Amino acid sequence: MEKKKVVIALGGNALGKDIEEQKEAVAHTAKVIVDMAQQGMDIIVTHGNGPQVGMIQDAMDNLIVMHENYKQVPLPTSVAMSQGYIGIDLQNAIKYELYSRNIDGKVSTILSQVEVDPADPAFQNPTKPIGRFMTKEEAEENEANGITCMEDAGRGYRIVVASPMPKRIRELETIRTLLKAGHIVITCGGGGIPVVNENGKLVGCNAVIDKDNVSSLLAAELDADDLIILTAVEKVAINFGKENQEWLSDLSVEQAKQYIAEEQFAKGSMLPKVEAAVRFAQSKPGRNALITLLDKAADAIAGKTGTVIHL
Q: Which of 12, 16, 189, 190 is catalytic?
A: 12
- In the residue annotation, 12 being an active-site residue is answered as yes
At 124 the three-state DSSP class reads helix
Q: Which of 211, 213, 288, 306 is catalytic?
A: 211
Q: If we measure between CA atoms, which residue out of 36, 22, 20 comes closest to residue 292?
A: 36
- In the residue annotation, 95 being an active-site residue is answered as no
- Left (φ > 0), alpha (ψ -120 to 50) or beta: where does 64 sit? alpha
- In the residue annotation, 49 being an active-site residue is answered as no
Phi, psi of 148 (to 5 degrees): -75, 135
Q: Which of 3, 4, 5, 13 is catalytic?
A: 13
Q: Which of 128, 191, 192, 288 is catalytic?
A: 128
Neighbours of 275 (CB within 10 A): 17
Q: If we measure between CA atoms, which residue out of 35, 42, 9, 182 comes closest to residue 94?
A: 35
- In the residue annotation, 306 being an active-site residue is answered as no
Kindly tell me the burial class for residue 223, based on how many C-beta atoms sit within 10 Å of its own C-beta (0-12, 13-18, 19 or more). exposed
C-alpha distances (whole Å) from 275 to each of 52, 120, 255, 280 are: 25, 18, 12, 9
- In the residue annotation, 13 being an active-site residue is answered as yes
Q: Which of 48, 235, 273, 296 is catalytic?
A: 273
Catalytic residue numbers, as ranges? 12-13, 128, 211, 273
